[in-house]
Amino acid sequence: MSVYKDTKSNTWRAVYRYTDWKGDRKQSQKRGFATKHEAQSWEREQLNKSKADLNMTFGSFVKIHSEDMKSRIKENTWHTKKTRY
């Protein structure tokens, strides 16, 4: 929701708030972006992930899908499927 310039390190920081699946409000941030555009892109992607928006990138979808599958299948099966991702 907001991007700030960190004057000490001369980098950008992105802060966003979201509602998790339980309905609790959460806040997350990431620091160290070289440009404002990178920080805004990261923030936009995180919001798309949290909303399960169809405008997310394919790479983000694959990452979410693989994390979900990893928790639901056996370890040996995961090692076999991991080569496909």
Name the more confident of 31 and 80. 31
Kindly state the tokens that stand for 16: 């966003």
Look at the block and give the residue holding tokens 């790479």. Answer: 59
**Mean pLDDT, to the nearest integer, of 4-32?**
86
> ∠ at Cα 19 (24, 71), nearest 5°?
90
pTM of the model: 0.56
The most confident of 10-19, 42-51, 52-61, by mean pLDDT: 10-19
Report how far apart, in Å, the C-alpha atoms of 43 and of each of 28, 30, 78, 85 are. Answer: 10, 9, 30, 24
